[in-house]
Amino acid sequence: MSEFDAYLFQKLEEVEQAGLRRSLRVLESAQGAEVKIDGRSLLNFSSNDYLGLANHPALAKAAGEALATFGTGAGASRLICGTSRLHEDLESAIARFKKTEAALSFSTGYAAAVGAIPAIVSSEDVVILDKLCHASLVDGARLSGATIRVFPHNNLEKLRSHLEWARREHPQGRVLVVVESVYSMDGDLAPLADIVSLKEHHGAWLMVDEAHGVGVLGAKGQGLVDLLGLTDRVEIQMGTLGKALGSAGAYLCGSAILRDYLINRSRSFIYSTAPPPYVAAAAQAAVELLETETGQGLVTRLRDNIHRFAEEAGCESPTAIFPIVIGDEREAMAAAGALLEAGFLVPAIRYPTVSRGSARLRIVVTATHSAEQISFLAKTLRELD
């Protein structure tokens, strides 16, 4: 073993001793309510494919037609030769769906976050984040060079205090507040209307990550911002194309000026090869599907399944995410192992995804789960207690 590999081995051993080592599971099937791992069929309650669109024939058809016409790759960044009509059509569909002037797509949610925040604020400015914001948002804030302040999760008084401090200590700086609409590990909602009022009172801007809100909340699944009628009062909305929309990539949406500005200033957009056109076609098909009666049926079925699991498992969540907080990392791993033995894929979520001592099972209900599958999980959880 080389000195380099010996060093890495030692560090991995430390991770192992802390009960935090991870490994990849290889799926032998398509994504869905049931998956196959190591030749064994498991009921999948871990996926963010909330509406089951990752396997929907409308998306597969759109991707297949685009693949036959446009091939497998975009060729370069979009500012060189990588923009196809499909990228533009996708962004028009997103803007229409989200009721904004414009949208811009990115290869991943991480790229959207680390591309947007450093483009908008810099070392003279302040970024204020909720403590439970996704790592990509935190990293985007760090890369910006702005002064960072973090407020305890959904704590409006501390957010107010940070806003007052920012205006007092950085009177000439810009202030950007960053929150999520739905928090991915807890499934709870941001008090978004109050946050909007606070940022407006203090002359700040707001960026809302709707990664886990789109497809779940809102009249047609447009997310929490739309549900609360706040679209015109949120400067930047971010979302993913790889969760409820069943494809891959992410987007930022807002004003037409925001889109043009990001095209010129977002490093992760400028210096990344464009996503494959067939991926954009699949995402567009998903957005357009949600605007149909078929799409609305999926949203309704998801909400019915959320209610069914909450009732049968004796827990509540405003979204499809149901956390069962265990605390100890090894105990969480043992609980996940017991569920695996019973036929369920529900991995343990541990540090650094969540804070130390708050390891949990993260159960996700989707539109494609049957009533029988949901009842089976609820019964199994009761027996494990």
Tell me if 1 is assigned to some domain: no
Q: Are residues 77 and 183 in the same domain?
A: yes
Q: Are residues 34 and 125 in the same domain?
A: no
State which of 233, 266, 290 marks the end of a domain: 290
Tell me if 186 is assigned to some domain: yes
Dihedral (CA of 25, 29, 31, 33) sign: negative
- Rounded to whole angstroms, the Cα distance separating 232 from 225 reads 9
pLDDT tens digit sequence for 260-299: 999 999 999 999 999 999 999 999 999 999 999 999 999 9
pLDDT tens digit sequence for 19-70: 788 888 888 888 899 999 999 999 999 999 999 999 999 999 999 999 999 9
State which of 262, 290, 318 marks the end of a domain: 290
- Checking if the pLDDT of 381 tops 80, the result is yes
Percent of the chain with pLDDT over 90: 89
State which of 290, 311, 331 marks the end of a domain: 290
Q: Are residues 258 and 378 in the same domain?
A: no
Mean pLDDT across 211-226:
95
CB 297 within 8 A of CB 221: no
- Rounded to whole angstroms, the Cα distance separating 231 from 228 reads 8
Tell me if 118 is assigned to some domain: yes
- Checking if the pLDDT of 179 tops 90, the result is yes
Tell me if 85 is assigned to some domain: yes
Q: Are residues 84 and 213 in the same domain?
A: yes
Q: Are residues 257 and 184 in the same domain?
A: yes
Tell me if 244 is assigned to some domain: yes
Percent of the chain with pLDDT over 70: 100
Q: Which domain holds residue 123?
A: 57-290
Q: Which residues pair with 130 in a beta bridge?
A: 151
Q: Which residues are catalytic?
A: 48, 134, 180, 184, 209, 212, 243
CB 331 within 8 A of CB 359: yes
The tally of domains found in the chain comes to 2
Indicate the pTM of the whole model. Answer: 0.94
Identify the CATH number of the domain in which residue 333 sits.
3.90.1150.10
Instruction: Kindly state the tokens that stand for 196.
Output: 């909007």
